[in-house]
Amino acid sequence: MKPACVGLLFVLGMWSVSRACPSGSPAPAEEDSSQGHGWSWWSRHLTVVHPPAGADLGGSGVTGQRSDLGEVAPEIKASERPAAVAIADLEWREMEGDDCELQYGDGMNEAQEGDFPTVERSRLQEMLSLLGLETHQAQKLGLQDALQISSDSVRNWAPQAPRDLPWTFLRKLQARSAEARSTAVLASPSGARPAEKESQMEEEVIYWDTADDISADIYSFSELPTPDTPVNPLDLLCALLLASDGFLQQEIVLRMSLCQFALPLVLPDSEHHAHTFLLWAMRGVVRTWWAQPPRGAGSLREDSVVLARAPAFAFVRMEVSSNSKSQLLNAVLSPGHRQRDCFWHRDLSLGTSPREIADGLVEVSWLLPTGREDLDLCPEPVAFLNLRGDIGSHWLQFKLLTEVSSAVFILTDNISKKEYKLLSSMKGSATKYYFILSPYRGKRNSNLRFLNRLTPVLRMDHSHVLVKVSSTDGARFTRRVRAIVASVARSPCRRVSVEDMAHAARRLGLKVDEDCEECQRAKDRMERITRSIRDPDAYRREELRLQGEPWRKAARVEKELCQAQWAGDPADKRRAELRQRLLELRTQQSGHDPAGGVQEFIAGISCPSLGERQYFLRWMEWGLAWVAQPRPRQLPEAAPTLRPKQGGAGDREPLWPEPLGVEHFLREMGQFYEAESCLVEAGKLPTGQRRFAHFPGLALELLVRGLPLELVDGSTRSTPLRWVTGLLKELHTRLERRSRLVVLSALGVPGTGKSTLLNTMFGLRFATGRGRGPRGAFMQLVTVAESFSQDLGCDHILVIDSGGLIAGAPATAGERFELEASLATLIMGLSDVTVISLAETRDIPPAILHAFLRLEKTGHMPNYQFVYQNLHDTSAPGPKPRERRPLLESPSDMSRASTHVAKQGDGLRTLADLAFCDPEKQHVWHVPGLWHGAPPMAAVSLGYSEAVFELKRCLLENIRNGLSDPHRNIQQLIELVGLL
């Protein structure tokens, strides 16, 4: 046969589907039995999971119950079925000829190289147009486009048209909603989206209430909007990723991981014939699991999924399969509790439209150890890979999976000559192959014959073939698959990281998103910095010389000087001595030059390319985290020993108690700026000789791009006043006419999830997790869309996150209470809205109550909301007004002590005594636990995302209705920083 004919037949084969025998038609003829004992041996030894006694063979696996993994329709696009059947007829006839020898071993998918480019191109363009993303195919959506606040971000209405779906998906991902993948569109009777005012903040009334109109015709129900699902959720995901830049892709993947969804690993792009391996997009995903060493007690381990090596198992479909891969994977990933819908499947009521552009997508998820032997497959993470679509049409992706996986599970109904030729090209592969068959839809004897031929090629035996039909007990079948996975994972097998998978993808010719020039230049610069970091503590002492003890001494002198000025101390000599001492310390600091690593960091954030600057910052975050990773981790049982002793000198914290991060390089820049500014103010340095005056402008670019900047130092608990003032002045100049600012802050008890709360509400990047939360205070800037800023009353929201405040009595807390009381007073004094996060309804840190008492005397009081985050109880549905009373009742010991520290002298004060506190107003919110079950394999609680959304609506409504100073701008904030 001519090569052109061979190529055409191969392309046709990629689009073909096997024909199912119609009901009542004669069974296919038996194949030649000349193979002797071959196929009969398979028929005797084929591993079949038989239904239990009494099973209903007509459908369900167990009498009276429906099988969890019953027979489902083949995954075939509806628009392709008529043509596919005709093509299959021709292809099958040609494939059965002896002269048709197709070569599949080169890993190339000829169907992706121009045979049907017009069809695929039109599909992608039509999908992007349907979703309103066609303009973003060239001009990509950025992270700031997705995070800005608009009228839609505070309205909980269902999408009215397909163009709303991408933005609804992004908002729900940000809120960690378990329903983010829903593509249901609530179409109006006329098909048009109802007109809405930008100022409308109230939730839409969607459903008709008979109480509103008793005389209404009951038959008008037929005119009500009905949900429609015009887009497959996987198509929505692929279209949005293709329309986004690398940083928004990274945010989407990160948020999907927080929602416990399967993550996109290979993104198909049929129009440009270039499938992309999403290594960069996966960089930000960090998972925590219970690590059980061979000997000794276990501990929590945290690592990037890009770096952690684990056994991988791929699940693929060959031609038609009556069994659902995704449902099987979800069952395998859900031991001991309700099934998690990690992988989307057809039975979910989230949209059932056929896939148009998502075939060829590879997804990945991990089964993480929980520390329970009865639930864990093995004492290490296990990766599961899922290829959407037929392996014949996506041969390149299939070859990648065979190269990185320890075992591949192939689901199919038929194995014929064509499939045999496909799989026989994998001869010599070290990967184990398992078949999951449903022979009642295919040719039983043909399957056995070709399985017999594949046995020596793929080095299989009868235990590698499973049969799953509609009458099979789903739970028992799942246990069988889990047992195979556990057996392979516990034996010596291939273990790969996502980085290893990317290397394999490059060898096969797949594009890797991380290989762009800007990203690689930024990575090289990061490596030049981190290469010299052997010991993080030593690096800080030797390279970041302006921090540590020099800064601690300067902060102490500045604090004494501030206290003397507030007290009105007439001793001018004392104040002069403090000023001279501060000048000496700053002169010593300015005598140093930035170290080599700091200079390289400054060059990285100063490069002309905005993209390269963003890449560099992300690389620095991960590079510094990787450098700190080999340091020994404290076991959870020993964690309490890390807490400082209360009272006296025991509350002094170690010099370098926190891990090295980007904030330390920015602190060093801030100290150079502080020292230089101090000398200029004292007349010791001419303004024209300043070297570091541009530093605030460099840091501002990072703030505008979403990096949290430090407001209060976590080590000295002091505010670098000149540095922060310089930042705010640069911000005022940068924003020009859009400088109206509202400050929203969060305070609270450690471990109550306040940083997670802020990240969920606004899509921010405050550090979270064990030992990584803020110790001082950090700020991030959230932009308000111009179309909504007039209605909301501000152009930007400055969000401040702070470290946890101690809950012990301040009388025994010593200097630490004074520091935390000053921190709480500063943050609340700067804020228009303050969220106070509590673990118990009465657990108000004394520093916060002290700040309330002090601010009451100044006349400034922020709008405040208490958030009670019950970290264990997930059954509470929402706000509990009855929980308000304990906050307003008799004072506890710590409120008495706080009152004593504040020297009120007129009797005990409680929160209820404060003039601003109205017990009938809703000031307390109950937020359910984040997880539905026990992490790391727990699903996200839908109640958490709903409660956080309502809290966000309340906060923005308070901003919209006007605050104590609704016309505050950045210049006024600068003055407040100086006063507080």
C-alpha to C-alpha distance for 690 and 687, rounded to whole angstroms: 6
Burial label for 508, CB within 10 Å (0-12, 13-18, 19+), is: middle
Give the DSSP letter string of 125-173: HHHHHHTT-GGGTTS-B-HHHHHSB-GGGG--PPPSSGGGHHHHHHHHH
Q: How confident is the model at residue 860 (pLDDT cuts 50, 70, 90)?
A: confident
Q: What is the pLDDT of residue 215?
A: 41
Closest among 303, 248, 291, 252 to 498, alpha carbons compared: 303
Task: Give the residue, 375 or 660, on which the prediction is more confident.
Answer: 660
Residue 383 has pLDDT above 90, yes or no: yes
CA 660/CA 392 separation, integer angstroms: 49
Digit-coded pLDDT (tens) for 395-447: 999 999 999 999 999 999 888 888 888 888 888 888 999 999 887 655 677 77
Rounded to a whole number, what is the largest CA-CA distance in the chain? Answer: 112
- Of 740, 760, 590, 605, nearest to 680 (Cα)? 590
Q: How many residues does the chain have?
A: 980
Give the mean pLDDT of 473-497.
91
What is the 3-class SS of 773-815, one letter each residue? CCCCEEEEEEEECHHHHHHHCCCEEEEEEECCCCCCCHHHCCH
- pLDDT at position 224 over 80: no
Nearest to 364 by CA among 385, 380, 345, 343: 385
Q: What one-character DSSP code corresponds to residue 969? A: B
Q: Give the integer Cα–Cα distance in Å for 20 and 16.
A: 13
Residue 437 structure tokens: 């068959």
**Which two three-digit tokens encode residue 606?**
């100063």
Which is more confident, 218 or 126?
Answer: 126
Tell me whether residue 39 is exposed, middle or buried, using C-beta atoms within 10 angstroms of its C-beta: 0 to 12, 13 to 18, 19 or more.
buried
Q: What integer pLDDT is reported at residue 80 of this predicted model?
A: 45
pLDDT band, very low/low/confident/very high, at 312 (cuts 50, 70, 90): very high
Structure confidence by residue, pLDDT tens digits, 734-791? 887 788 889 999 998 887 888 999 999 999 989 886 666 667 899 999 999 988 988 8
Type of residue numbered 581: R
Q: What SS3 class is residue 837?
A: strand
pLDDT digits (tens, 9 = 90+) for 579-595: 899 999 999 998 899 99
The predicted structure's pLDDT at residue 264: 97
447 or 601, which is more confident: 601
Q: How many CA atoms lie within 13 A of 940 on its CB side?
A: 24
Exposure of 476 in the CB half-sphere (CA atoms within 13 A): 15
**CA–CA separation, 31 vs 448, rounded Å?**
10
- Going from the C-alpha of 822 to that of each of 463, 712, 713, 800, 826, the distances in angstroms are 68, 11, 13, 15, 6
Q: Directed axis angle between helix 417-424 and helix 444-458, to 10°?
A: 10
Phi and psi torsions of 900, nearest 5°? -65, -40
What is the per-residue pLDDT for 14? 38
Residue 165: φ, ψ to 5°: -60, -45
Q: What is the mean pLDDT of the chain?
A: 74
Other beta carbons less than 10 A from residue 916's beta carbon = 15
Grade residue 167 by pLDDT with cuts at 50, 70 and 90. very high
Q: How far apart are CA 375 and CA 373, in angstroms?
A: 5
Residue 493: pLDDT above 70?
A: yes
- CA atoms of 948 and 688, how far apart (whole Å): 50
Query: What is the C-alpha separation between 611 and 142, in angstroms, rounded?
Result: 11
SS (H, E, C) 288-300: EEEECCCCCCCEE
pLDDT digit string, tens, across residues 637-665: 333 333 333 333 333 343 345 788 899 99
| pLDDT value for 409 | 96
Give the Å distances, CA to CA, from 691 to 594, 713, 873. Answer: 11, 23, 55
Give CA–CA dist 508/504, Å, rounded. Answer: 6
Output the pLDDT for position 774.
67
pLDDT of residue 855: 82
- CB 758 within 8 Å of CB 801: yes
Contact 288, 300 (CB under 8 A): yes
304/643 Cα distance (integer angstroms): 27
Please classify residue 839 by burial: count the beta carbons closer than 10 Å to its beta carbon, then call 0-12 exposed, 13-18 middle and 19+ buried: middle
Q: What is the DSSP string of 85-113?
A: HHHHHHHHHHHTSTT-----TT---GGGT
Tell me what percent of the residues of the chain surpass a pLDDT of 70.
68
Q: How far apart are the first and last CA of the chain?
A: 86
Quick one: pLDDT at residue 617? 94
Contact by Cβ (8 Å): 785, 148? yes
When comparing pLDDT for 827 and 23, which is higher?
827
968 band by pLDDT with thresholds 50, 70 and 90: low
Span 515-519, average pLDDT: 95
Distances (CA, A) of 646 to 653, 806, 833, 847: 11, 10, 31, 15
Tokens of 187: 């179409």
Which pLDDT belongs to residue 273? 72
527 has pLDDT over 80? yes
Residues 6 or more apart whose Cβ sits within 8 Å of residue 25: none
Stated as kind and residue range, the H or E segment containing 418 is: helix 417-424
User: Of 342-351, 736-745, 878-887, which range is least confident?
Assistant: 878-887
Residue 296 burial (CB count, 10 A): 8
Rounded CA-CA distance 143/141 in Å is 7
Rounded-to-10 torsion of CA 444, 446, 448, 449: 160
What's the pLDDT tens digit per position in 454-470? 888 888 888 898 988 87
Q: What's the confidence (pLDDT) of residue 814?
A: 58
Rounded to whole angstroms, the Cα distance separating 601 from 594 reads: 10
Q: 3-class SS at 30?
A: coil
Structure-token pair, residue 513 = 């998103």
Residues 6+ apart with CB under 8 A from 26: none
Q: 777-783 and 796-802: which strand pairing? A: antiparallel
Q: Would you place residue 477 in the very low, low, confident or very high pLDDT band (cuts 50, 70, 90)?
A: very high
Query: Percent of the chain having pLDDT more than 90?
Result: 30
Quick one: pLDDT at residue 938?
80
* Nearest residue to 863 via CA among 917, 801, 800: 917
| Contact between residue 53 and residue 468 where contact means Cβ atoms under 8 Å apart | no
Helical (H) or strand (E) element with 612:
helix 610-628
For the cut 60, the answer to whether the pLDDT of residue 67 exceeds it is no
Q: Does 125 score more than 60 pLDDT?
A: yes
- Write out pLDDT tens, residues 97-117: 433 333 333 333 333 333 444
Instruction: Summarize pLDDT for 693-713 with one digit per residue, the tens.
Output: 999 999 999 998 889 999 888
- Higher per-residue confidence, 924 vs 465: 465
């063979």: which residue's tokens? 57
Query: Where are the extended beta strands (E) located within 675-795?
Result: 709-712, 741-748, 777-783
Crossing angle between the packed helical segments 754-762 and 942-960, to the nearest 10 degrees: 70
pLDDT in tens, 128-156: 999 999 999 888 999 988 889 988 877 77
Question: Using one digit for the tens of pLDDT, what is the confidence trace for 278-287?
Answer: 999 999 999 8
Once rounded to an integer, what is the mean pLDDT over residues 186-202? 42
Tokens of 946: 């709903």
Minimum mean pLDDT range among 486-500, 727-741, 861-875? 861-875
- Confidence band (pLDDT; 50, 70, 90) for 629? low
Band (pLDDT 50/70/90 cuts) for residue 344 is confident
